[in-house]
DNA sequence: ATACTTATTGTATTTTGTACAATAAGTGAT
DNA sequence: ATCACTTATTGTACAAAATACAATAAGTAT
């Protein structure tokens, strides 16, 4: 529970759509939290909902910093790819009765309108260790194909994030964020296939990807696999 | 001057980058306002700045509605193409001393941090009639190549708008908004050239543009011109 | 040596982008 | 009627990129 409301701007929040890639199952999932109820003695009246991680911004932080802070608090990982993608500001977006209980325990002014700036983050599921923070009972990964009903307008926010990453996968440096430091071209192809939700031809995929200026061939192959070992590749470091 | 502050959310604003196309001179311009000073007897102390039109949002309106209202108040035109493109929220974005005077006369809490959601609008300059509203002394069009120093972080906002329209002119339905209902391919080409700031080959431009599913050939040609009359074209109506 | 599994590669075709200049259809002057 | 003038319109050759499609290679296990 927050100690006080003083450091927070009560009218603007940041919500983060964290997309996680499970390489083994080749699945894209979204990180959800389950809301934590109010004080224990009234807990039986509270119906927790799933939501994406988000919080009011603090007065002294920028939006980008707020997004990073929220992810760090919840996901316990720094340095993630993080990008603002849209701001949601319908006057009634926090006025649904289903959300009133939660707001009443978390907000200085539970009826206040809140505009939320939405961010997109990409992570490898095996790389992070989500742990429930003060605003969550638990965290969970859910397939982007089976997203439950979420608090507030979070279903809308997640949908918009998926639209955006599908429209511009390269721009979003998907491979860099969602694959290990060294990877095979088959791994890269699997990732592109799950994001675009369609199969790609191996030969054509390799032809096009090898024009990518950020891809470098390593001096290393797979070992111990029951088939021809694949070449490892990596991404060049980005200049800051 | 605003009658009261009650209907306004004092922490979130909408700013509009209005890009105007002057077909005769083939120039892109941005619509600026000159800030109006405070009460007349103190006016000599006030240094008005140029700014893009923007205002605090009202509590009962959505962000899209706020953008439309602001444009309507200032530009006196409805139904413009209007698109949210980024939200600016640096904690100090309204804390520059140069902006303190203006804020002190316009805001309930002049020191409050304001997050602004930025919108992009495209208009034909000859189609609208900007008139100074309560928040402006005058309005003016300025070439995108010579933008003066603006209030707050408005230079940054305008730059980002230009980046976006240049990256995706088709997506932004540039032609539809910036040309008359019927137009020639030369007019369309001139527009694309001024947006991209480079010359295009006539034959290749026509080849590529004729794949555009929204372009239809009309049964009408130019009349009375001192040269071969050009075919008129139009855009298909968009489905809502 | 063989079976098994995934990695790797080439070729023909189509589509798209690019560079480049001659002809067409009006008007106004003679 | 002819000519000068201005902008509109169009084609061709070439390069680059996207697409469809299947055989061979390099390991491991038996």
Structure confidence by residue, pLDDT tens digits, A122-155: 888 888 888 777 667 788 999 999 999 999 999 9
Residues of A in contact with B90 (CB under 8 A): 62-63
DSSP 3-state assignment of A97? helix
Question: What does the pLDDT look like over A184-231, one tens digit per residue?
Answer: 999 999 998 988 888 999 999 999 988 777 889 999 999 999 999 999
Which residue carries 């295009």 as its tokens? B200
Interface test with B, best of A89, A117, A163, A167 (most B CBs within 10 A): A89
Strand C contact residues in chain B (195-234), C-beta within 7 Å: 201-204, 207-208, 221, 223-229
Question: What does the pLDDT look like over A41-53, one tens digit per residue?
Answer: 555 667 889 999 9
- B91 beta carbon to strand C: under 7 Å: no
- B223 beta carbon to strand D: under 7 Å: no
Q: What pLDDT is recorded for position A60?
A: 94
Protein CA at A235 to nucleotide C1' at D15, angstroms? 29
Question: What does the pLDDT look like over A30-43, one tens digit per residue?
Answer: 999 998 766 555 55
CA distance A216 to chain B (A): 27
The answer to whether the Cβ–Cβ distance between A9 and B9 falls below 8 Å is no
Q: What pLDDT is recorded for position A40?
A: 58
CA distance B86 to chain A (A): 7
Arithmetic mean of pLDDT, B203-228:
91
Q: What pLDDT is recorded for position A240?
A: 59
Arithmetic mean of pLDDT, B63-70:
96
Protein CA at B181 to nucleotide C1' at C23, angstroms? 30
HSE of B186, CA atoms in CB hemisphere, 13 A: 7
pLDDT at A116 over 90: yes
Protein CA at B226 to nucleotide C1' at C28, angstroms? 8
Question: What does the pLDDT look like over B123-155, one tens digit per residue?
Answer: 888 888 888 776 677 889 999 999 999 999 999
Which residue carries 């077909």 as its tokens? B23
pLDDT at B212 over 70: yes
Which residue carries 């807990």 as its tokens? A43
Q: Indicate the helix (H) or strand (E) that contains A11.
A: strand A8-22
Protein CA at B234 to nucleotide C1' at C19, angstroms? 29
- What's the mean per-residue pLDDT of chain A? 87
Arithmetic mean of pLDDT, B85-93:
97
pLDDT at B96 over 90: yes
Identify which has the larger pLDDT, A129 or B183.
B183
Residues of B in contact with A59 (CB under 8 A): 91, 113
CB B160 within 8 A of CB B167: no
Protein CA at B228 to nucleotide C1' at D4, angstroms? 14
**Which of A112, A116, A65 is CA-nearest to residue B91?**
A65
Tokens of B231: 């075919």
Q: What pLDDT is recorded for position A122?
A: 87
User: How buried is A80 (Cβ within 10 angstroms: 0-12 exposed, 13-18 middle, 19+ buried)?
Assistant: buried
Arithmetic mean of pLDDT, B181-186:
94
DSSP 3-state assignment of A109? coil
Residues of A in contact with B84 (CB under 8 A): 86-87
Radius of gyration for chain A, computed over Cα atoms and rounded to the nearest angstrom: 20
- B210 beta carbon to strand D: under 7 Å: no
User: Which residue lies nearest D27, CA-to-C1' measured?
Assistant: A228
Residues of A in contact with B86 (CB under 8 A): 84
| Lowest-pLDDT choice from A193-197, A235-239, B143-147, B177-181 | A235-239
Of B61, B84, B91, the CB nearest to A87: B84
pLDDT at B1 over 50: no
Per-residue HEC secondary structure of chain B comes to CCCCCCCEEEEEEEEEEEEEEECCCCEEEEEEEEECCCCHHHHHHCCCCEECCEEEEECCCCHHHHHHHHHHHHHCCCCCEEEEEEEECCCCCCCCHHHHHHHHHHCCCCCCCCEEEEEEEEEEHHHCCCCCCCCEEEEEEEECCCCCCECCCHHHHHHHHHHHHHHCCCCCCHHHHHCCCCECHHHHHHHHHHHHCCCCCHHHHHHHHCCCCCEEEEEEECCCCCCCCCEEEEECCCCC
Q: What pLDDT is recorded for position A214?
A: 84
Q: What pLDDT is recorded for position A1?
A: 45
| Lowest-pLDDT choice from A160-164, A207-211, A235-239 | A235-239
pLDDT at A167 over 80: no
Nucleotides of C under 7 A from a protein CB: 4-11, 17-21, 24-28
Band (A238; pLDDT cuts 50, 70, 90): confident
Which nucleotide is nearest, taking the CA of residue A217 and each C1'?
Answer: C8
Q: Backbone phi, then psi, for A123, in 5-degree steps?
A: -145, 155
CA distance B183 to chain A (A): 31
CB B15 within 8 A of CB B54: yes
Band (B55; pLDDT cuts 50, 70, 90): very high
Protein CA at A30 to nucleotide C1' at D25, angstroms? 39
The answer to whether the Cβ–Cβ distance between B115 and A113 falls below 8 Å is no
């Amino acid at each position: 529970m927050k100690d006080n409301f003083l450091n927070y701007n009560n009218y603007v929040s940041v919500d983060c759509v964290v997309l996680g890639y499970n390489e083994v199952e080749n699945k894209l999932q979204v990180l959800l939290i389950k809301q934590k109820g109010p004080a224990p003695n009234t807990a039986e009246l509270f119906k927790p909902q799933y939501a994406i991680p988000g919080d009011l911004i603090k007065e002294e932080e920028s939006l980008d910093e707020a997004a990073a802070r929220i992810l760090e608090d919840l996901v316990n990982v720094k340095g993630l790819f993080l990008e603002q993608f849209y701001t949601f500001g319908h006057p009634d977006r926090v006025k649904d009765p289903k959300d009133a209980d939660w707001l009443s325990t978390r907000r200085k002014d539970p009826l206040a309108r809140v505009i939320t700036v939405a961010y997109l983050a990409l992570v490898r599921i095996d790389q992070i260790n989500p742990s429930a923070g003060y605003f969550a009972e638990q965290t969970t990964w859910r397939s982007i194909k089976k997203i439950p009903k979420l608090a507030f307008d979070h279903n809308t926010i997640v949908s918009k994030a998926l639209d955006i990453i599908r429209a511009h996968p390269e721009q979003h440096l998907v491979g860099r964020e969602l694959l290990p430091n060294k990877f095979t071209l088959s791994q890269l192809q699997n990732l592109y296939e799950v994001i675009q939700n369609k199969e790609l031809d191996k030969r054509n995929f390799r032809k096009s990807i090898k024009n990518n200026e950020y891809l470098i061939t390593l001096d290393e192959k797979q070992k111990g696999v029951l088939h021809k070992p694949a070449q490892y590749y990596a991404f060049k470091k980005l200049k800051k």
